[in-house]
Every structure is written in structure tokens, then in C-alpha cells.
Amino acid sequence: MGYLAGIDVGSRMTRGVLVDEHGRVQAKTGRETGARLEVAAQAVLDELCATQRIKPEEILYVASTGYGRYRVLFRQIQITEMTCHGVGARWLFPGTRTVLDIGAMNSRALRLADSGRVAAFRMNDRCASGAGRFLERVAKALEVKLEEVGELALRAQDPQPISSICAVLAESEVINHVTAGASVEDILSGAHFSIAERLVALVRQVGAQPEITLTGGVSKNAGLVRALEERLGAKLNVSPHSEYAGALGAALLARARWQRLADAVGGARVQSCEAAREEPA
């Protein structure tokens, strides 16, 4: 069996997905990116290989994506995050026409054409106010774990608004709410609705159409999912695999590229990454 890999190097997390020649997911993994992007990428590839008990050289083709995609030194091709998240979201939910990808530093809304290609997109352009890093700073100010903020926000009784568009200035608002006696749950709920307002604006700018699929690491945050659904007035597609959508899309595109190369040489199988190595245009 041959394998193809997608490596998504984000600002906070690096994730990888391994698919077989038929496009079936065989393994996935992730780890914090840290300061050495190439080390994180290699570690993720090694973990994927360990899961399947194969050697890295047995992987037929590797596609990289994410803001650190150029630091994946063993790649055959690099592909933009938008393209990969579009493909990954469509694989998870075939009816997807709009994708909302929420990362640590950036968020983006995509509208997909009937073919699945990206027809329109918008990105947040104001600090990290519409992305995961905003919640990290709020969580730090409230001394709660990042993994807990979503569930805590769901328990709010009187959400407190956070109006600052800057993640740094928002900390001052959080402190003011604490001083005024607001509960942690109410403050967190207000932070989630603040982010949701900005994300919904991105979605509307691309002319969103149903179905809307959520991708990126923040997709695991139940509080933000609820806030988005309330502001959009629509149900969002969310999968346990949504955080891997970028890496999944990269792996599926790696498979498509590998197959084209194999077909170009008369159906002969491309035997290794080295045999198929090609730098993007």
C-alpha cells in the first residue's frame, strides 16, 4: 500500500494527515509548532510513519500548507491554506459551499464554486481579534485553561461585551469586568460573541451560501460554535476532524498530484518522494 501525506504548519499547531492511494485516511496527528517550523514538520511526519509502521521514504508524495509551508523541507509541493481547507471541508461535508477557517493568528472565510474551487475569500486584517490568539490572551487574563474557555462560556448568565478590536487592549476590558464583579463565565461568553461578530462579517463579505463548514483548531470550542450559530442564524458543520481539514486537504491534493504524475508515465507507479519531487511554480 502506498501513502501520501499532508502537513499543515500553523502558527500554533502543526498537523499531519496520511491517506492511502484510494484517498482513505490512515493516520492523523498534531503537535505544537514552536519556534523551529522544520523540526515540527519532521516530527509530525515521523509520528504519522510510526502509526503505520512505515519509513518516511515509503511515502509517495508530500504536500505542505499553512503559514510555514515553505519550511517543510521534505515536501514535493506547497499549496495555499485556502485551497487545502476548501478541499478538506468538502471531503468532510460534501455539501459545503462556505468554509470558515479559524486559526490562532488568522481567520478566513471561503465561498466555494460548484467545482469545489475557491470562488471568493476574505481574511481578518486587524491583529488577532478574530482568531484563536484573542481567546488565548483572554484565558490568560482570567487564569483559566484555554481548553476550558468554550465550556465555561456556555454557562454564562449575563454575557459581558468586549468591544476592543485589539487582542491586547481586550485584556484591559477583561480586567475591568473582573473588577466590576462579573463572573468568568459571563466575561468569556462576551469574548466569544465579540469574535463571532467579526467572523460573521467575513462570512457575509464572501456571499456565504449553505452549507457552512467550520475548520481549524478553534472548531473544537463549543462556546464559539454556539456564538457563531446564533449570530449567523444557521447550523454549522463541525466534525471531530475539522481541526485537521488543512492537512487533510493537502494530503488529498498530494494524492491527486501523484496520480497525475503516475498517469503521465503510462500508469507506472511513482516509487518514492524523490522520484516525484517537484517545486511549485
Please check whether residues 224 and 266 belong to one and the same domain: no
Q: Which pLDDT belongs to residue 169?
A: 75
- 204 and 99 in a common domain: yes
Residue 89 lies in a domain: no
In a domain, 90, yes or no: no
The CATH number for 218's domain is: 3.30.420.40
Q: What is the mean pLDDT of each run of 10 residues along the chain (281 residues)?
A: 94 96 95 97 97 92 97 97 97 97 90 95 72 86 94 96 75 90 96 92 94 94 96 95 97 95 67 39 31
- Kindly compute the dihedral angle of the four CA atoms of residues 196, 37, 49, 251, in this order, to the nearest 10 degrees: 50
Same domain, 261 and 232: no
User: Could you identify the residue written with the cell 521534505?
Assistant: 74
* 148 burial level (CB within 10 Å; 0-12, 13-18, 19+): middle
Contact 75, 85 (CB under 8 A): no
pLDDT of residue 275: 39
Number of domains in the chain: 2
Mark whether 176 and 56 lie in a shared domain: no
**Inside any domain, residue 140:** yes
One domain for residues 8 and 125: no
Does 189 reside within a domain? Answer: yes
Domain co-membership, 108 together with 227? yes
Same domain, 188 and 134: yes
Same domain, 256 and 233: no
pLDDT at 277: 39
pTM: 0.90
The reported pLDDT for the residue numbered 129 is 55
281 part of a folded domain? no
What is the domain range of residue 17? 3-83+244-276
Asked whether residue 179 is assigned to any structural domain, the reply reads yes
Q: Are residues 18 and 149 in the same domain?
A: no
Q: Residues 168-171: contacts with CB within 8 Å, 24+ apart? A: 168/127, 168/137, 170/129, 170/134, 170/137, 170/138, 170/194, 171/137, 171/138, 171/141
Residues 111 and 213 grouped into a single domain: yes
Query: Cell 449553505 sits at which residue?
Result: 210
The strand pair at 13-20 and 25-32 is best described as: antiparallel
Sheet holding 212-215, edge to edge: 118-123, 107-112, 98-102, 212-215, 236-237
Angstrom distance (rounded) from CA 267 to CA 253: 18
Based on the domain organization, do 47 and 178 belong to the same domain?
Answer: no
